[in-house]
Structure 1
Amino acid sequence: MHPSSDVVARLSGAVKRYGQLTALDGVDLVLHRGELLAVLGPNGAGKSTSIGLLLGLIRPEGGRAELFGLDPQHLDARRRIGVMLQSAMLPLTLRVGELLRLVASYYPNPRPLEESATLAGVADLLKRPYGKLSGGQQRRVQFALALCGRPELVFLDEPTVGMDIDARQKLWAAMRILVAEGCSVVLTTHYLEEAEALAQRVVVMGKGRVLSEGSVDDLRSQVAHTRIRCITDLDAATIAGWPNVVSVEREGARLRISTAEAEYVLRRMLDADPTLRELEVQRAGLAEAFIELTQDDAIQQEAA
């Protein structure tokens, strides 16, 4: 349980419409100090609109948006945040070091340039013109700009798009450092493994509403399926007819089984095939929980 004084950002019953389209339909969202919150959802779910409200870039038609208890457009609130959006229009001719010095100058207590550059993995790019960098390098520079002011809250909107695996892992490490320092992070991402690796709490959105929220384990627990993989002589069609078996697929010599009752299925398989081997049992991951939550929402919307 977090005390209310730990709340650094909040949406309360937020409503936002664009003509006939309701982008947000009464969304409640809370972020606590030192927390990394991942906001997930398919395209059009309302993620970017929620971020826009918290940044003060757009205004709600109903409800309320707050940063540090203030209006998001208040200067005192803005000086306490860092932002990395999906796209950034930065001066192409400025060198990376010049960009960092410029943005850091807007903050009352910025990080030293070298510290920001090292944390974001751009120390070797400081003398390079921004416009001469690759897409992945530009994203790392944008991350450096988001953290250079030593913000208390950082918004990261799809931060690792365009990055290779090594750069993505380094950015993950930097995010963990920020959170360890007490910084709060709002992360939107399409990479579910990213949210699973980083987030203390996850919010799943769909069609302008919050579908579910909680820890990664909380969301996993909403999906009862467990995956079983093994080498067996048992027939896939036979197992598919057993109670509580959701699906069975053959992958070469292996069977892949999805079930809501793993213990029952395993006992029956071992009784039927004592030579069963190379057994793997894995609980549902965040990807399965996300798919099930968003699919259930789509079905409910169609039924309505």
Structure 2
Amino acid sequence: MKTTTEHQSASARAPMPGATALELQGVHKSFHTNEGRFEAVAGIDLRVGTGEIVAFLGPNGAGKTTTIDMMLGLTTPTSGSVSVFGKAPREAVEAGEISAVLQTGGLLRDLTVRETVTAIAALHGARERIDTVMERTDITSLAKRKVSKCSGGEQQRLKFALALLPDPRLLILDEPTAGMDVSARRAFWATMRQDAVAGRTVLFATHYLEEAQEFAERTVLIGAGRVLADGPTAQLREMTGGRVVSATLPSARPTAPAVAALQALERATSVRLNGHRVAVTGPDSDAAARMLLNELAATDLEITTPTLEAAFMALTGEDS
């Protein structure tokens, strides 16, 4: 995916830094089922500022898809409000201010890639952007290929191109890199970062927790239709209790006194022993490392940073 004058366009019509791109206030969404009323979204408050890249995570059934549908005006809240740049979502969609790349929503398999882009460009009155958008999403070489012959990753890039045609100020992405290989995924996120610098706002849902960890400045974690955590991604990783310091205790010495000394560390949150291998979790990894090396004569010291996956599991009680 290549850099073009697209950035200048997004930047030229972006709101001032700090402006609100997306806001949800007290949003609830209920459905009537055979088993009675089901509340898919149980009160979400969320504000996303201009130029942010936000990961929107949650286990299956957390309410992510329903919430995204309300952001796009595909369904309306039972109560509460959703606004996009101060407009109702449907107004923002019609004005070309918000676009989406969704998992669902079919492409016409018998059209070529260029025919698909041309047809959608005509709907947006954006024929002059066809070549720019195709180059930007790296599908120019696929122009004559039928959609049915494109791989899953290539179809995702095509959907991305269609979403960029109206030059939206806000992009909503649902599993945007599904089917892409590692290099295509990295190129995609490089493009997203450039767009954010230029003023475009990006909110994405993904099952690739390492993707959120690497590319999102902020992560919003939802569960049971509510926001469980919202903050800088690095801070959410720390919610699991801090770094893990592990080392091997001397085999000639009893382990119980060493474990007791580590448990007495002021900020240690847990100490686990497996044979002579001990692991200390806590926010003060330096203190644990000093004790292991200087006082307990431990070897093979290793310090690992908590992952977003660990925070995800701790907060939701679900596997990723």
Structures share fold, TM-score greater than 0.5: yes
Could you tell me which runs of 5 or more consecutive residues in structure 2 were left unpaired when the two chains were aligned: 1-14
Does residue 1:157 correspond to 2:181, yes or no?
no
In the superposition, relative to structure 1, how do residues 79 and 245 fare at CA in structure 2: closer, same or farther (>3 Å)? closer
Per-residue CA distance 1:72-103 (angstroms, 9 max, x = gap): 12266552122100122111111111111222
Question: Matches of 1:163 and 1:54 in 2, distance apart?
Answer: 25
Q: How many residues are treated as equivalent by the alignment? A: 292
Question: Matches of 2:62 and 2:111 in 1, distance apart?
Answer: 36
Give yes or no for contact 2:72–2:93 (8 Å, CA) kept in 1: no
Question: Matches of 2:155 and 2:139 in 1, distance apart?
Answer: 9
Which residue among 53, 61, 69 is the counterpart of 1:36? 53
Per-residue CA distance 1:196-230 (angstroms, 9 max, x = gap): 11112211100000011011123133332312244
Aligned residue identity for 1:6: A
In the superposition, relative to structure 1, how do residues 240 and 163 fare at CA in structure 2: closer, same or farther (>3 Å)? farther
Which residue does the alignment assign to 1:265? 288
Could you tell me which runs of 5 or more consecutive residues in structure 1 were left unpaired when the two chains were aligned: 299-304
Which residue does the alignment assign to 1:208? 225
Which residue among 67, 77, 81 is the counterpart of 1:64? 81
Per-residue CA distance 1:229-284 (angstroms, 9 max, x = gap): 44554589746664146354769xx947241253443233224553624x332332
1:127-146 alignment to 2 at 5 Å? Answer: 127-146=144-163
Give yes or no for contact 1:106–1:149 (8 Å, CA) kept in 2: no
Question: Matches of 1:236 and 1:101 in 2, distance apart?
Answer: 73
Question: Matches of 2:198 and 2:17 in 1, distance apart?
Answer: 20
Aligned residue identity for 2:288: V
SS at match of 1:74: helix
Q: For structure 1, which segment, 42-51 or 66-75, has the greater mean C-alpha deviation from structure 2 after superposition?
A: 66-75
Q: Could you tell me the TM-score, scaled by structure 1's length?
A: 0.85
Question: Matches of 2:199 and 2:16 in 1, distance apart?
Answer: 15
In the superposition, relative to structure 1, how do residues 255 and 54 fare at CA in structure 2: closer, same or farther (>3 Å)? same
Does residue 1:12 correspond to 2:37, yes or no?
no
Q: For structure 1, which segment, 106-115 or 281-290, has the greater mean C-alpha deviation from structure 2 after superposition?
A: 106-115
In the superposition, relative to structure 1, how do residues 26 and 111 fare at CA in structure 2: closer, same or farther (>3 Å)? farther
Give yes or no for contact 1:227–1:256 (8 Å, CA) kept in 2: no
1:168-207 alignment to 2 at 5 Å? Answer: 168-207=185-224
Q: RMSD of the TM alignment (CA)?
A: 2.8
Aligned residue identity for 2:27: A
1:277-296 alignment to 2 at 5 Å? Answer: 277=300, 279-295=301-317
1:230-245 alignment to 2 at 5 Å? Answer: 230=247, 233=250, 238=256, 242-243=262-263, 244=268
In the superposition, relative to structure 1, how do residues 12 and 77 fare at CA in structure 2: closer, same or farther (>3 Å)? farther
Question: Matches of 1:46 and 1:91 in 2, distance apart?
Answer: 29
Give yes or no for contact 1:12–1:29 (8 Å, CA) kept in 2: yes
SS at match of 1:173: helix
Question: Matches of 2:277 and 2:16 in 1, distance apart?
Answer: 49
Give yes or no for contact 2:126–2:165 (8 Å, CA) kept in 1: no
Give yes or no for contact 1:84–1:159 (8 Å, CA) kept in 2: yes
SS at match of 1:23: strand
Which residue does the alignment assign to 1:301? none
SS at match of 1:94: coil
In the superposition, relative to structure 1, how do residues 75 and 194 fare at CA in structure 2: closer, same or farther (>3 Å)? closer
Does residue 1:276 correspond to 2:316, yes or no?
no
Question: Matches of 1:240 and 1:3 in 2, distance apart?
Answer: 54
Aligned residue identity for 1:149: P
Which residue does the alignment assign to 1:94? 111
Give yes or no for contact 2:249–2:297 (8 Å, CA) kept in 1: no
Which residue does the alignment assign to 2:4? none
Which residue does the alignment assign to 1:54? 71
Aligned residue identity for 2:292: M
In the superposition, relative to structure 1, how do residues 258 and 191 fare at CA in structure 2: closer, same or farther (>3 Å)? farther
Question: Matches of 2:71 and 2:92 in 1, distance apart?
Answer: 13
Question: Matches of 1:152 and 1:188 in 2, distance apart?
Answer: 18
For residue 47 of structure 1, report the CA deviation from its aligned partner: 0.9
Give yes or no for contact 2:209–2:308 (8 Å, CA) kept in 1: yes
Give yes or no for contact 1:72–1:78 (8 Å, CA) kept in 2: no
SS at match of 1:156: strand
Question: Matches of 2:171 and 2:91 in 1, distance apart?
Answer: 16
